[in-house]
Structures are given as structure tokens and as C-alpha cells.
Amino acid sequence: MTRDEMFAYALSQPGAEDSTLHGGRCIRVRTHWIVNDSSEPGSLALALDKPTVEFLIETEPQTYWQTPHFEGWPAVLVRYKAADDGRLKEQIDKAWARRATKTQRKARGFD
């Protein structure tokens, strides 16, 4: 998946909006970012819960990682070119579900 494809997929989620954060592009759901540009080459930030972040870093460190800036926060960096497209889409779906309304989540089978 390319950077643009990752942004496009995130933007296709119900209620997602194109926005900016710290001068970079991000996708927001209900004012909260779910995918964000990163200053790390070849990576984007993805907002996920801490247990998921820890699991991804442990199981796929070649794809999911953190700099000291992100440690302890519910976000992970993604080397999108190294990511399995299907798995990455699942993680974007999870990021969306964290910020979507209960009605939106239920409509997509998340509740």
C-alpha cells in the first residue's frame, strides 16, 4: 500500500475528513486523528489502543514501530510499504472504530 492509498482508505471510512496536524496531512473522525503524516521517512502514524500497539510492535516490528516520541501513547508508526495491505486495512478500521459513533460502529459490525 502506498502513502496515498493509505490516506484514501482511511478517508473512505464513514465520517472521515481530510485535515492537517502539525503542518502535515491527517484523516480525522469526530475531530480525532486516525492516520497522520510522520516526519519518519516511509511511515505514517496510526492511532490505535495501547494493547494493539504493543501487540503489533511485538509481532511485526518490521512494519509497526515507535520512536521515543510515541512511546506510551496510543499510536504506532507504520512502514506502509512493508505492511500487508489486508492487515493494514484492518488496523485502519480499528483506528476508525475507536473514534466512530456507536451507531456507525454498529452499522459496520464493530459492536
**pLDDT tens column, 16-38:** 999 999 999 999 999 999 999 99
Q: Which residue has the cell 494493547?
A: 51
How many angstroms from the chain centroid is the CA of residue 55?
A: 14
This prediction has a pTM of 0.93
Identify the structural domains of the chain with CATH numbers, from first to last.
Answer: 3-100 (3.90.1150.30)
pLDDT in tens, 45-92: 999 999 999 999 999 999 999 999 999 999 999 999 999 999 999 999
Distance between CA atoms of 13 and 23, rounded to whole angstroms? 23
User: 10-26 burial by CB neighbour count: b if 16+ within 10 A, else e?
Assistant: beebeebeeeeeeeebb
* Cα Rg, the chain, nearest whole Å: 13
Residue 110 confidence (pLDDT): 84
State the pLDDT at residue 62.
96
Residue 87 is predicted with a pLDDT of 95
